[in-house]
Every structure is written in C-alpha cells, then in structure tokens.
C-alpha cells in the first residue's frame, strides 16, 4: 500500500512490489498470489476494511450511556482515549487514504465500499455512542459528523501541510475535543 500511496498505482511496478515484499523482482512471484497488480490493490483495500470494521465494533462496545455524566471525571479520559484511537486509526490508514484519493477511479465499487464500510461506519459508530450518552441530542448524526470531522481536519491538515493547524499538538486538540463532546452531551439534557 505504501508504494501505491507514494508513487500512484500506474507508476508502481510489479517488480517494485515484489522487492518491497522481499521477493525476487520480476520473477513472477506476485502472480502466484494475485492475478494482477489491480487484484493486489483490491485485496489490500479489503484487508483494511476488515481491520476498520473490527476496530469500530470494539469502539461501539463501549457503554457511554452512564460514562458521560457531565459530573463524572472518568468521562474525560475515556473521550480522550477514543479520540486518540481515532487519530491513530487515521494515521494507520494514511496510505489507503492517499491511494483512494489518487486512484479511486480505478476501483469505483471498492471506493464506494470504503465510504460506506469505513468512513460512514466511523460516523455511524460515533452517532450510536452519542445517542447512548445523550438520548436527547437534537441531531446526533450531524453532531457525530462535526465532532469526528474536527479530528479528520486536524490529521489531514498535518498530512497535507506537514503540521496541524496552528501547530496544535494532539494532546491539546484532544483535550479541547473532549470539552466539545461533553458540552454537546450536556446541552442535550
């Protein structure tokens, strides 16, 4: 995935892929496992989808219903941990994100699956957590999009420009992010 992210799908040769995998370049070893370079890319993307789904299930299993009681000091570390996990997942998926941005048109069905099964799954999971924590929240889906979207913007700005907005470090951003989530939950009551 890293080669595709760095060089693009078309510019990455099968020999480079084989060498990066520790195989003899241009000896056909890749074709023993995949019918084509495209099939390798599809398999790699599907693997990332499975990993993302497993992570979302683990996060969805967190019971925020009572944990986000605004008077509970335990809620802040839990929120920060969830936000940190999300940023770490974004970092882990950076190469995949770059591949989809540059070569998504090569795999429209898979790109649609990525949006549904990874991006939208993240927002659906955040929505479910918010609903459990704040059943009276006026628009939990929009709140989830805006809440997670702020973390996406933090990370994507760092990827694009080499530094986050205003050079804000993750810890400071996550602390403020937790304040925003807690305020949203408190306002629903």
CATH number for the domain harbouring residue 50: 1.10.357
Residue 13 domain-assigned (yes or no): no
| Domain count of the fold of the chain | 1
Q: Is 125 helix (H, G, I), strand (E, B) or coil?
A: helix
Can you tell me the mean pLDDT for 183-187?
85
Domain contains 29: no
Q: What is the domain extent for residue 119?
A: 45-187
Confidence of residue 189 (pLDDT cuts 50, 70, 90): low
Residue 127, both tokens: 């929505």
Inside any domain, residue 146: yes
**pLDDT reported for residue 70:** 45
Residue 68 has pLDDT above 80, yes or no: no
> For the chain, how many residues are written?
189
Q: Which of 116, 123, 121 is nearest to 142 (CA)?
A: 123
26 within a domain of the structure (yes/no):
no
Q: Is residue 150 part of a domain?
A: yes
C-alpha distances (whole Å) from 72 to each of 52, 58, 67, 182 are 30, 23, 7, 10
Sign of CA dihedral 111, 101, 20, 163: negative
pLDDT at 109: 86
* Rounded-to-integer distance, Cα 156 and Cα 144, Å: 18
* pLDDT score recorded for residue 135: 86
In a domain, 38, yes or no: no
pTM of the predicted model, to two decimals?
0.84
| 18 in any annotated domain | no
Q: Report how far apart, in Å, the C-alpha atoms of 64 and of each of 9, 71, 110, 121, 160 are.
A: 41, 14, 32, 18, 33
Q: What is the mean pLDDT of the chain?
A: 87
Task: Report the Cα–Cα distance between both ends of the chain, in Å, rounded.
Answer: 45
| For residue 64, pLDDT beyond 70 | no
Whether 8 is in a domain gets the answer no
Q: What is d(CA 85, CA 97) in angstroms, rounded to the nearest whole number?
A: 17
Does residue 118 have a pLDDT over 50? yes
């Amino acid at each position: 995935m890293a080669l595709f992210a760095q060089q693009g799908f078309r510019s990455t040769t099968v020999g480079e892929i084989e060498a990066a995998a520790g195989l003899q370049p241009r000896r056909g070893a890749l074709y023993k496992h995949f019918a084509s370079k495209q099939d390798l890319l599809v398999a790699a993307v599907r693997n990332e989808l499975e990993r993302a789904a497993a992570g979302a299930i683990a996060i969805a299993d967190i019971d925020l219903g009572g944990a986000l009681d605004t008077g509970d000091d335990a809620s802040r570390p839990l929120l920060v941990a969830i936000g940190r996990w999300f940023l770490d997942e974004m970092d882990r998926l950076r190469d995949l994100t770059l591949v989809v941005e540059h070569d998504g048109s090569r795999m429209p069905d898979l790109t649609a699956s990525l949006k549904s099964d990874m991006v939208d799954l993240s927002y659906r999971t955040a929505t479910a957590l918010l609903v459990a924590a704040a059943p009276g929240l006026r628009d939990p889906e929009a709140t989830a999009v805006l809440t997670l979207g702020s973390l996406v913007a933090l990370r994507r700005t760092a990827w694009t420009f080499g530094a986050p907005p205003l050079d804000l470090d993750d810890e400071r951003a996550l602390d403020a992010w937790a304040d925003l989530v807690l305020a949203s939950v408190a306002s629903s009551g």
